[in-house]
Structure 1
Amino acid sequence: MSAGEGQTAVKDKDSRKKNRPKRKEHKVLLCSGGRYESHANAQVRATIMEGLEDCFGKGNVVSVHVTAAASAIHTLQPALVFAMGSYLPESTYFGEVSRAAKKVGAVTTFWATEDPYEQDAHYQIANDFDVIFSCDRWGHNFYQRDRVFHLPLGACPKQHYVPLDRQADKTIDVLFCGVAFSSRKEVVRNLMPVLQQLNIRIIGPGWGEMGVGFSDARIEKQQLIELYSRSRLVLNLGRSLHFENKRFMISPSTPGPRTFEAAAAGAFQVFHEETYELRRYYEADEIPVFSNRDDFEQIVNRYLRDDDLRFEMARKAQERTMKEHLYGNRILQAVNYLMDEGLL
């Protein structure tokens, strides 16, 4: 890291400290780990715990699996129980957690990190927690109760941040990693006249059948970050796997965690969207967007061979992520909500 980068990191850290609420020495219990919890959510648990420790002090935050939470609440007598994850039926014990928390007078919060894909099952937690945080801006309107706030997912500096390297060898023109959901396949098929002219790597379960440049492989996070560094353009495609979302068929609005993770890793992303929701988080000179093949072809023509422009845009997106879109930022927002509501 250069001296300039070090100064920026210090300034960002100081800024977060300045905005941090006055620390209260509360005991906090963090619980998650339901059956359907995604791999990504499981990985960020330690980072969320660090964010809570920043607000409440080291030694005051304990993280447990949801199956052990009720017992831990009885033993620790926390002032705040912060639950998170999936709330699908038969997969969690969050009702038991809430009842145990109420017995000791704890404030209860739930961060729904799989919205809106499970929205039909939100009765599992809708009336059990004092405050609900939803990771989806549009989905949070469907809880039909008060004290529901939008809280996006984010990035973890320890897991996702990689210093940008201007000299990195870019051997891949277009990269996408992720499961081949039907909506993603539809987008990629539409882009094929452009993609066929490029060196592409489309990787993830379900892609192999589509030919050269496609693979069914599953890759680890470190492999993915290494692929980012070798890629000129990284496609960002939303998913459409709706476990329990048939009543209202809520379309996801907020960018998923991969957006923030890839930006922290220094990837130059090309974001597919039709709602312009991304502009709540990143500017046009940080992450370009497309909604059809013509848009995508224009992006390829403009950015593919302009290494300096891509580097500058990726740098801006990374800086914004490290300043505004880390899990530490999200926890700070959550704690501020609780304080504004008079719960802490």
Structure 2
Amino acid sequence: MGDTRPKVKVLICCGGHFESQANRQVREAMQSGFEDVLGEEQVIAVDISGAAFAISSWKPDLVFATGSYLPESTYFGEVSRTARACGAVTVFWATEDPYEQDAHYQIADDFDVIFSCDRWGHHFYQRDRVFHLPLAASPTLHYGEIDSSVEKTVDVFFCGVAFSCRKEVVRSLMPELQKVKVRFVGPGWGEFGPGFSDARIEKTQLIELYRRARIVLNLGRSLHFENKRFMIAPSTPGPRTFETALAGAFQLFHEETYEMRRYYDADEIPVFNNRHDFAKLLKTYLGNPEKRQEMARKAQKRTLENHLYRHRIETIMQVLRDENLLKS
């Protein structure tokens, strides 16, 4: 049988040298999702500085921009105008909502459709054709086999920048964390003492560190770069949630918005929002490797079935068809 995938040419562009390492990895995962859905030959990725020329030359059906719309010098207007002149549909997937919400004027009028990674944040664009679309995980980048024979060397592991909101949570949990073996890795954690490090690690190392931890702590962030007008609280779990689940790690998720149950059940990823609940979860799961592994398998299965970038790209393509922007 022939290839039945839609014949849609997609050009992906990003913010160039302003693109953070985290956004670069997310963009690469999105590209792999497009390739899974449409085929590798239908997808190219370019720097924003060369996007207009590439659009004119390659004539894609869909121009897909993603990432941050800060700083001011990241200008998507030329990309959008060139795409429309070629008859291409334009889409932006905002990966930093709601932290940059006040600056969305930079993209609000440049794209046919906008997808926001945050459920609450997507309501504040004040235009039509704005949809909520969570980030996800990539089998190529994040999948890990669950192996009960792997030695667990750490009780509680966390990797990420020590934003002030995360420090506040960790300080509240310290009476419990001091009872177990911890490893916190990321800029800003060194001041907390033994078990805490300012080091940065690569994503490739992260999967192995997950495998060595009994519990992976999942702490959200609330850092308002440009979110002072409405002070929108972040709602949707970030990509690390889906990536960690796909890696086969057992997570404890800190939340105050009760959004997690839209994505994972209680027997897949437990949640807490105070020291008392955290202590109960530690007592329940730290000494129960069979239960941890059972729940990690369920979360990984859920991710494989519902939360890969392939699934998100399929959603994007369906929305574009529903909006009569794409025919195939």
Q: What TM-score do the two structures reach when normalised by structure 1?
A: 0.91
Shift of 1:36: 4.2
Match for residue 258 of structure 2 among 276, 298, 302: 276
User: Which residue identity lines up with residue 159 of structure 1 in the other structure?
Assistant: L
Shift of 1:35: 4.5
Q: Secondary structure at 2:105's aligned position in 1?
A: helix
With over 3 angstroms needed to count, the CA separation of the structure-2 counterparts of 1:24 and 1:150, relative to structure 1, is: same
Paired residues of 2:154 and 2:183 also in contact (CA < 8 A)? yes
Query: What are the within-5 Å matches in structure 2 for residues 11-160 of structure 1?
Result: 23-160=5-142
User: Which residue identity lines up with residue 67 of structure 2 in the other structure?
Assistant: G
Query: What are the within-5 Å matches in structure 2 for residues 225-236 of structure 1?
Result: 225-236=207-218
Query: What are the within-5 Å matches in structure 2 for residues 288-307 of structure 1?
Result: 288-307=270-289
Please state if 1:256 is matched with 2:272. Answer: no
Find the aligned partners of 1:62 and 1:254 in 2 and give their Cα distance. Answer: 29
Where in structure 1 are there 5+ consecutive unaligned residues?
A: 1-21
Between stretches 35-44 and 274-283, larger displacement belongs to 35-44
Please state if 1:168 is matched with 2:142. Answer: no
Equivalent position of 2:299 in the other structure: 317
Equivalent position of 1:3 in the other structure: none
Shift of 1:227: 1.1
With over 3 angstroms needed to count, the CA separation of the structure-2 counterparts of 1:156 and 1:148, relative to structure 1, is: same
Find the aligned partners of 2:60 and 2:157 in 1 and give their Cα distance. Answer: 45
Percent identity, aligned pairs only, is 68
User: Which residue identity lines up with residue 293 of structure 2 in the other structure?
Assistant: F
With over 3 angstroms needed to count, the CA separation of the structure-2 counterparts of 1:33 and 1:140, relative to structure 1, is: same
Paired residues of 2:27 and 2:66 also in contact (CA < 8 A)? no
Shift of 1:316: 0.4
Between stretches 285-294 and 170-179, larger displacement belongs to 170-179
Shift of 1:277: 0.3
Q: List per-residue Cα deviations over 1:97-148 (Å, max 9, x = no partner).
A: 1011111121111000111111111000001100000000000000001000
Q: Secondary structure at 2:216's aligned position in 1?
A: strand
Paired residues of 1:89 and 1:124 also in contact (CA < 8 A)? no
Find the aligned partners of 1:91 and 1:157 in 2 and give their Cα distance. Answer: 33
Q: Secondary structure at 1:155's aligned position in 2?
A: coil
User: Which residue identity lines up with residue 53 of structure 2 in the other structure?
Assistant: S
Q: Secondary structure at 1:330's aligned position in 2?
A: helix
RMSD: 1.5
Find the aligned partners of 1:151 and 1:284 in 2 and give their Cα distance. Answer: 22
Aligned residues: 324
User: Which residue identity lines up with residue 333 of structure 1 in the other structure?
Assistant: T
Where in structure 2 are there 5+ consecutive unaligned residues?
A: none
Shift of 1:213: 1.2
Shift of 1:317: 0.4
With over 3 angstroms needed to count, the CA separation of the structure-2 counterparts of 1:56 and 1:203, relative to structure 1, is: closer
Shift of 1:33: 3.3
